[in-house]
Copies of this chain bind each other. A is one copy, B any other.
Amino acid sequence: MITGAWLQEIKWSSDGLVPVIVQEADSRQVLMFAWMNREALALTQDEGYAVFWSRSRKKLWRKGEQSGHRQKLVEIRLDCDEDVLLMSVKQIGGIACHTGRQHCFYRKLQGGKWIEVESVLKDPKLIYGQKS
């Protein structure tokens, strides 16, 4: 399915990537921002759960593979310039951020400073450190 016509309509970057905004389907909270290559997007569509391309690790990244905090696909949208995706998901476990918060945008600009305004729901050590 990596050759699907819908994949060709996306204007991929010179690195073969597209930015993806991930939003919680019900609350519309923006959870995170990541990147996909063709394979990640095709897998997301086929498997029904978010798969990204990790630019730092240079490999496919099945969101939640370690934490269990998978993102069940609800809908994928493409923007007017065909170079950005908006993906609605159901966030399993209610935690999207690797810091243990609901989402990644937990710092708010206030009085000229970035202030943390979202609570840690689960200690990252418990999310990633222990396997039983």
Residues of A with Cβ closer than 8 Å to B? Answer: 4-6, 9, 19, 21, 23, 27-30, 32-33, 45, 75-81, 84, 86, 97-99, 101, 104-109, 112-114
Contact = CB atoms under 8 A, between A and B. Distances in A.
A27 to B, nearest CB: 7
Contacts of A76: 108-109
Stoichiometry, as copies per complex, reads: 2
26 contacts: A6-B112, A6-B114, A9-B114, A19-B19, A19-B33, A21-B21, A23-B30, A28-B28, A28-B29, A28-B30, A45-B109, A76-B108, A76-B109, A77-B105, A77-B106, A77-B107, A77-B108, A77-B109, A78-B114, A79-B104, A79-B105, A79-B107, A80-B98, A80-B106, A81-B104, A86-B105
A16 B132 CA distance: 44
A23 B113 CA distance: 21
Nearest to A96: B80
A76 B104 CA distance: 13
A4 B75 CA distance: 39
Given A80-B97, A80-B99, A97-B80, A109 B29 contact: no
